[in-house]
Amino acid sequence: MLLLPELIDELTGVPGAMAGPAEIRQGELVIRITQDAVRHRLSIERHRIQARLNEALGREVVTSIRFGR
């Protein structure tokens, strides 16, 4: 998920470095976010992030996104 930090920064203006390690489990992308305000901002943009990631990957890999601590 090397493109995830850049994508988050581009779509939301939130520095991608604020997003912790990410993993995909059965289509669900799990991103660690420690700050509540950042987690809220990213949750608002979750569908745009998902669409852009799948577009960049060339197929539907991410079916949902969850932001955790």
**In order of start, what are the domains of the chain with their CATH numbers?**
4-68 (3.30.70)
SS3 of residue 27 by DSSP: coil
| pLDDT digit string, tens, across residues 28-62 | 999 888 888 888 988 998 999 899 989 988 999 99
Global confidence as pTM: 0.80
- In this structure, what token pair is assigned to residue 14? 């939130």
Cα four-point dihedral sign 3, 5, 6, 10: positive
Q: What is the pLDDT of residue 62?
A: 93
